[in-house]
Amino acid sequence: MTLENKTPPNGHASDNDVLIRVRDLKKHFPIKRGVFRRQVGAVQAVDGVTFDIKRGETLGLVGESGCGKSTAGRTILQLLEPTGGSVLWNGKDLAKVSREELRKSRRHMQMIFQDPYASLNPRMTVGKIVSEPLRIQGIGSASERIDRVEELLKLVGLNPYFVKRYPHEFSGGQRQRIGIARALSTNPSFIVADEPISALDVSIQAQVVNLLDDLKANLGLTYLFIAHDLSMVRYISDRVAVMYLGRIVELGERDTVYDHPQHPYTQALLSAIPIPNPKEDAKRQRIILEGDVPNPANPPSGCRFHTRCHYATDICRQEEPENRNLGTAETPHMVACHHADQFQ
Q: Name the pLDDT band for 47 (thresholds 50, 70, 90).
A: very high
> What's the chain's average pLDDT?
88
Classified as helix, coil or strand, 32 is strand
Residue 48, judged by CB atoms within 10 A of its CB (0-12, 13-18, 19+), counts as: middle
Classified as helix, coil or strand, 121 is coil
Cα–Cα–Cα angle for 308, 12, 271, rounded to 5 degrees: 30
Share of the chain above pLDDT 70, in %: 94
What are the φ and ψ backbone dihedral angles of 226, each rounded to 5 degrees?
A: -95, 130
> What confidence score (pLDDT) does residue 115 get?
87
> What confidence score (pLDDT) does residue 341 get?
76
Cβ atoms < 10 Å from Cβ of 288: 9
Higher-confidence residue of 282 and 210: namely: 210
> What confidence score (pLDDT) does residue 16 get?
66
What is the length of the chain?
A: 344
What DSSP state is assigned to residue 8?
-
> What's the whole-number mean pLDDT along residues 241-256?
95
> What confidence score (pLDDT) does residue 93 get?
92
Classified as helix, coil or strand, 304 is coil
> What confidence score (pLDDT) does residue 199 get?
77
Residue 315 clears pLDDT 90, i.e. is over it: yes
Q: Name the pLDDT band for 14 (thresholds 50, 70, 90).
A: low
Residue 2 clears pLDDT 50, i.e. is over it: no
Q: What Rg, from alpha-carbon coordinates, does the chain have?
A: 21
pTM for this entry: 0.89
Hey, what amino acid is at 211?
A: L
> What's the whole-number mean pLDDT along residues 134-158?
92
> What confidence score (pLDDT) does residue 243 get?
95
Residue 8 clears pLDDT 50, i.e. is over it: no
Residue 291 clears pLDDT 90, i.e. is over it: no
Break the chain into its structural domains and give their ranges.
Answer: 263-344
> What confidence score (pLDDT) does residue 13 get?
53
Regarding beta strands 92-93 and 84-89, do their DSSP bridges make them parallel or antiparallel, or are they unpaired? Answer: antiparallel
Q: 200: which residues sit within 8 A by CB, 6+ positions away?
A: 116, 172, 173, 176, 208
Q: Concatenated DSSP letters for 193-248?
A: EESTTTTS-HHHHHHHHHHHHHHHHHHT-EEEEE-S-HHHHHHH-SEEEEEETTEE
Regarding beta strands 190-194 and 18-33, do their DSSP bridges make them parallel or antiparallel, or are they unpaired? Answer: unpaired
> Per residue in 183-217, is it b (16+ CB within 10 Å) or e — as a string?
bbbbebbbbbbbbbbebbeeebbebbbebbeebbe
Q: Name the pLDDT band for 12 (thresholds 50, 70, 90).
A: low
Share of the chain above pLDDT 90, in %: 61
Which residue blocks in 109-192 are alpha helix, DSSP H?
A: 126-137, 142-155, 172-184
Q: Name the pLDDT band for 253 (thresholds 50, 70, 90).
A: very high
Distance from C-alpha of 333 to C-alpha of 319, rounded to nearest angstrom: 21
What are the φ and ψ backbone dihedral angles of 150, each rounded to 5 degrees?
A: -65, -40
Strand arrangement of the beta sheet that strand 18-33 belongs to: 38-54, 18-33, 84-89, 92-93
The answer to whether the beta carbons of residues 47 and 28 sit under 8 Å apart is yes
The answer to whether the beta carbons of residues 48 and 24 sit under 8 Å apart is yes
Q: Name the pLDDT band for 54 (thresholds 50, 70, 90).
A: very high
What DSSP state is assigned to residue 169?
G
Residue 9 clears pLDDT 60, i.e. is over it: no
